[in-house]
């Protein structure tokens, strides 16, 4: 038998390579099954020094959700149990249980001053007593953004969650209210009248940026003092709608340009809203409106009519407690 020549060997090798490339059997098989979804929770073995806040930051990207982990696991500290469950999604979203449903009170504090003689102003010492009362009674002060996520069924909240808000563009807030919030570690939302910022005895943009860097949420109370304006005498409805639309858009734009971040919540100082206010606010990019009235906010609340309750300037901590309805029990059959 004749031995194959070098040229024949080369042609055979090339043919085998081409056959391998074109042969389905030579390709890597594709698994038709979809990738397995990630588990709904992590099982974590806590290490010395772990807290619910740093576990929430590590696994969920938000240390503020540590109180939700505490509620899920039922232990005061992570190292009280051999393992900790960290759910990827909120459990019992909406706070609805067979016996009733959770509500979240939003408190609207009046302007805070250093003394006690200004009508309608709360002395700084009284604000301090109210904040201490919330701490001692075990209330969980949460950011307004978490209440909005709760209403969207994106997050569960602690059973005694409460939100703090202020309507105050005066410089007194910087001097007399904000230091107490920082000392307690409480988040809060400040609603400001955009055109008043920088005026005499008012907050400056630099002060707002400084407080925002410390975690204060700054949102719009409207472009002008007094919030959403009513229709003027002699003003056509068409002109009124254009003016209201312009005020809503410009207030949001100015806040975002001067402070950064998103200004998508409007704080209205009255109970009633002007005609079409909610629709125009939604068109301008707002995601919620807070009106000033009595009551608390369940998961099925209208985000464009959330309720915040005014805290009396001269009220006691016991009077504050009466505003803090955190659960409504449904009557049985």
Q: Contact at 8 Å (CB) between 288 and 165?
A: no
pLDDT at 39 over 70: no
Query: Average of pLDDT values for 11-33?
Result: 46
Q: What percent of the chain has pLDDT over 70?
A: 85
Does residue 6 register a pLDDT over 80? no
Share of the chain above pLDDT 90, in %: 59
- Judged against a pLDDT cut of 90, whether residue 24 lies above it is answered with no
- Asked whether the predicted pLDDT for residue 25 surpasses 50, the reply is no
Please give the average per-residue pLDDT across 238-258, as a whole number. 94
Quick: pLDDT tens for 260-312: 999 999 999 889 888 788 999 999 999 999 999 999 999 999 999 999 999 99
For the chain, which domains are there? 41-87 (3.10.350), 96-329 (3.20.20.370)
Per-residue pLDDT tens digits for 196-211: 999 999 999 999 999 9
Dump pLDDT digits (tens) for 57-102: 998 888 877 877 877 777 788 888 788 888 876 665 678 888 899 9
pLDDT at 14: 45
- pLDDT exceeds 80 at position 20: no
């Amino acid at each position: 038998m004749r031995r194959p020549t070098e040229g024949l060997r080369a042609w055979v090798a090339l043919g085998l390579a081409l056959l391998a490339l074109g042969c389905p059997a030579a390709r890597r098989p594709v698994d038709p099954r979809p990738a397995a979804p990630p588990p709904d929770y992590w099982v974590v073995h806590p290490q010395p020094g772990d807290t619910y806040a740093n576990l929430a930051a590590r696994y969920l990207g938000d240390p503020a959700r540590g109180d939700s982990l505490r509620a899920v696991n039922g232990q005061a500290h992570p190292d009280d149990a051999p393992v900790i469950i960290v759910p990827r999604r909120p459990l019992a979203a909406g706070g609805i249980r067979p016996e009733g449903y959770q509500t979240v009170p939003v408190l609207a504090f009046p302007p805070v001053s250093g003394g006690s003689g200004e009508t309608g102003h709360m002395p700084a010492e009284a604000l301090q007593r109210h904040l201490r009362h919330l701490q001692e009674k075990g209330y969980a002060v949460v950011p307004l953004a978490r209440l909005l996520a709760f209403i969207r069924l994106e997050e569960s909240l602690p059973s005694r969650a409460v939100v703090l808000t202020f309507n105050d563009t005066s410089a007194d807030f910087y001097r007399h209210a904000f230091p107490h919030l920082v000392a307690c570690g409480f988040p809060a939302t400040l609603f400001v009248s955009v055109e008043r910022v920088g005026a005499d005895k008012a907050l400056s943009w630099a002060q707002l940026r400084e407080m925002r860097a410390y975690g204060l949420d700054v949102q719009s109370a409207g472009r002008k003092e007094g919030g959403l304006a009513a229709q003027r005498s002699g003003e056509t409805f068409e002109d009124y709608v254009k003016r209201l639309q312009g005020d809503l858009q410009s207030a949001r734009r100015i806040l975002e340009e001067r402070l950064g971040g998103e200004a998508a919540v409007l704080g209205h100082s009255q109970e009633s809203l002007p005609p079409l206010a909610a629709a125009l606010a939604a068109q301008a990019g707002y995601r919620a409106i807070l009106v000033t009235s009595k009551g608390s906010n369940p998961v099925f609340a209208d985000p464009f009519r959330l309720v915040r309750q005014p805290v009396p300037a001269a009220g006691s901590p016991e009077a504050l407690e009466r505003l803090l309805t955190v659960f409504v029990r449904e009557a049985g059959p």
